[in-house]
Amino acid sequence: MPYATAADANEIYPLGTGDKLRVTVFGEDTLSGEYTVTGDGDISFPLIGNVPASGRSIEELQATLTAMLDNGYVNDPRVSAEVLEYRPYYILGEVNRPGEYPYSVGLTVEQAVATAGGYTYRANDERVFLKRSDDTQEKLVDLERSPAFRLRPGDTVRVGERYF
């Protein structure tokens, strides 16, 4: 089983289904507003229609919106975007309250475990299994090597049992 590394945790955040965004177009109040990334991975934007957002960074989305609006819709558009609400993360296995929890920026595995009520007495607190929302397989996170391993929205953390 492959190990997750600190580099995995520091990747640029890709937008995904369920993220709620605020897009501001300077001087264009009717275009500015809150948008949610749909199940198809798009946001539905006035004038230009569906804009692909899933898998892109917030900066890439800003550039795409700027280019599309500059194509005859708005003179010299200035677009900014930010994530208002991230999609949740999931934690299961040997924690006291497994389930879905709201993501917050900078969330670590240990903080996620604490949010879920801590480890059970059978839990292996030295390593957990992590599945990113865009991965097909779990990776092993060694908490002794990376005690502050950061999660991303949409991640699933599985805490396994320890062997005596």
Binning pLDDT at 50, 70 and 90, where does residue 147 land?
Answer: confident
Query: Does one domain contain both 42 and 98?
Result: no
In this structure, is residue 164 part of a structural domain? Answer: no
- Range with the largest mean pLDDT of 7-16, 74-83, 130-139: 74-83
- Indicate the residue among 85, 100, 117 that finishes a domain: 85
Segment 61-78 shows an average pLDDT of 94
- Predicted confidence band of residue 10 (pLDDT cuts 50, 70, 90): low
> Own/partner pairs for 99-108, CB < 8 Å, 24+ apart?
103/151, 103/152, 103/153, 106/150, 107/150, 107/151, 108/147, 108/148, 108/149, 108/150, 108/151
Residues 73-107: pLDDT tens digits?
999 999 999 999 999 999 999 999 999 999 988 89
Tell me which residue range forms the domain holding 140: 87-159
pLDDT for 158 equals 97
Domain termination residue (choose one: 50, 85, 120) = 85
Q: Is the per-residue pLDDT at 40 higher than 60?
A: yes
- Of 62, 85, 108, which one is at a domain's C-terminal end? 85
Provide the number of structural domains found in the chain. 2
Residue 126 located in a structural domain:
yes
Residues 64 and 118 in one domain: no
| Residue 7 pLDDT > 60 | no
One domain for residues 24 and 76: yes
pLDDT at 132 over 60: yes
| 79 and 99 inside one domain | no
